[in-house]
Structure 1
Amino acid sequence: MRDQTMIGPWVRRFLLEYLITDRNLARNTQISYRDTLVLLLPYLNKVSKTPVDRLTIDDLSPSLVRSFLEYLEKERGCSGVTRNLRLAAIHSLARFIGMHSPEHVAWCSTIRAVPFKKTAYLDKPEIDALLKTPDLRTPLGTRDYALLIFLYNTGARVDEAVHLTVSDITWGGTPAVRLMGKGNKTRWCPIWTRTAEVLKPLVTGRVAQDFVFLNRLGHPLTRFGIYSLVRRAVAQASQTLPSLTQKLVGPHCIRHSCAVHLLRSGVDINTIRAWLGHVSLDTTHIYAEVDLEMKAHALAHCDFPDVVSTKPWHTDQGLIAFLKAL
């Protein structure tokens, strides 16, 4: 009878069967999950003083997961986004084990209860400052503006922006773009009139298979090119808006900002899930929690404490209901 407590066989099945066959995740996601385990297993070996091939599922405890995440941030200098990516891989491994080994369901729950770290997002004035940085009098400035407003409008991942082609954009009465997300899943995302106005001249005269965002040499813009573009825009915008210097801003931060701003404007959580291409609604709920915390903070510091204390939301449940209705 196979020993279900050893973590090694589970890791093998997770990487070679579950991610590839069952989930059909994109190659980059598979590599990211593998890299997480490349870091996690030696760390687990070091802390528990147990050879890697003798590690058990119980050796991977919630406290150790938190310790590992702290190690990533403090010793490896990883950002909050990277920390969350590593934790997402660990959550996925725990879920896989829990689904196939009933005796480990309780363990799975404790691992998946380790929370994601709320990552930075930009307020509307900061987004506006970012969009004002490109020089629209130049072709490269026009491209930079088109890319920035596209990222904010759609909440697209970097890979999705890199691989966007002319044929992925539909114009007509309701402009929209088709995005190829994780697991080769496609989704349609509406684009604003302003976004369509800057994208249309950018792709005029090109064939359907051409990529939308090109560099100065006419080659497709790379992931690193987009990261560099966003960093330059942030550095320039921070001269007029110093609050940007306090945040680690990249393309994924703009994606977070899109989600939070959609939520604030009254878009329901399921629509945001479809908009961003999330597989699980749990991922989208992170933005709802961020928005609720901000509203709770605003409520706690309002100028009318006497009025607030007399309202039905003075209880915890009433407060939550009230905040959701704001």
Structure 2
Amino acid sequence: MRDHALLLFLYNTGARADEAAKLTVGNLQLGASPSVRLHGKGNKIRICPLWPATAISLARLVTDRDRSDAVFLGRMKEPLTRFGIHRVVTQYAAMASKTVPTLATKRVSPHTIRHTTAVHLLRAGVDINTIRAWLGHVSLDTTHIYAEVDLEMKAKALAKVDISGLKEPPRQRSLPSLMAFLKAL
């Protein structure tokens, strides 16, 4: 239950492993408009919306817990560290590689999930500035990397361009050779 909630949370929010590790129950808003308050790099705070499925999964996980408790706990009821979160992600990536063989050759980490979130938001038509805020980037330049790496989106955009009305350039008539030109002078 914890691992499912963690993986869903990472993909839904694009949170860094450290942000998920430090997440407390009090930072969750699981009511009518579910959201999470994330404490990111440089003490930056951002709020991300949660899918209903993520909110339900998190609500089951934190039932009867204090607001100050960490959301993601290990077997000994201690907060998972970012290394523990990394282990969970790599463990499930290894399991998934049995049914998706291409995963076997890839390094999957919490940051990979964060990157996937950004690319999927971009493919869904979300503007780059919204993605910047979603991921907690200070600079748009940092987020712009995601727009540059997605060749599939570029190919789809190119396919939408209609060039059927373009005419072939007129054939150039052959020019006399330089020697013939000089002899004619």
Q: TM-score range, shorter-chain basis? A: 0.7 to 0.9
> Counterpart in 1 of 2:154?
296
RMSD: 1.9
The CA deviation string for residues 298-319 of structure 1, in whole angstroms up to 9 with x for no partner, is 577x7xxxx954267xxxxxxx
> Counterpart in 1 of 2:174?
none
Moved over 6 A (4+): none
Contact 2:123 2:153 in 1 (8 A): no
Give the structure-2-normalised TM-score: 0.84
Which of 82, 88, 91 is the equivalent residue of 1:223?
A: 82
SS at match of 1:188: strand
Give the structure-1-normalised TM-score: 0.49
Judging changes above 3 Å, is the alpha-carbon distance between structure 1 residues 311 and 189 closer, same or farther for their aligned structure 2 residues?
Answer: farther
> Counterpart in 2 of 1:186?
45
1:310 and 2:167 matched: no
Q: 1:245: how far off?
A: 1.5
SS at match of 2:19: helix
- Work out which of the two has the higher radius of gyration on C-alpha atoms and give 1 or 2: 2
1:212 and 2:66 matched: no
> Counterpart in 2 of 1:279?
138
Q: 1:172: how far off?
A: 2.0
Identity %, equivalent residues: 60
The CA deviation string for residues 126-170 of structure 1, in whole angstroms up to 9 with x for no partner, is xxxxxxxxxxxxxxxx10000000000000001100000000001
1:168 and 2:22 matched: no
2-structure distance, mates of 1:231, 1:183: 27
Judging changes above 3 Å, is the alpha-carbon distance between structure 1 residues 239 and 185 closer, same or farther for their aligned structure 2 residues?
Answer: same
1-structure distance, mates of 2:139, 2:157: 30
Contact 2:119 2:147 in 1 (8 A): yes
> Counterpart in 2 of 1:120?
none
2-structure distance, mates of 1:311, 1:173: 51
2-structure distance, mates of 1:257, 1:164: 21
**Which sections of structure 2, spanning at least 5 residues, go unmatched?**
167-185
> Counterpart in 2 of 1:255?
114
Residue identity opposite 1:190 in structure 2: P
Residue identity opposite 1:310 in structure 2: S
Q: 1:295: how far off?
A: 2.9
The CA deviation string for residues 34-70 of structure 1, in whole angstroms up to 9 with x for no partner, is xxxxxxxxxxxxxxxxxxxxxxxxxxxxxxxxxxxxx
SS at match of 1:206: coil
The CA deviation string for residues 183-228 of structure 1, in whole angstroms up to 9 with x for no partner, is 1110100000000010001101011100000001111001111111
2-structure distance, mates of 1:146, 1:250: 16
**Which sections of structure 1, spanning at least 5 residues, go unmatched?**
1-141, 313-326
Contact 2:16 2:111 in 1 (8 A): yes
1-structure distance, mates of 2:89, 2:37: 22
Contact 2:25 2:66 in 1 (8 A): yes
2-structure distance, mates of 1:309, 1:253: 37
Residue identity opposite 2:85 in structure 1: I
> Counterpart in 2 of 1:237?
96
1:201 and 2:60 matched: yes
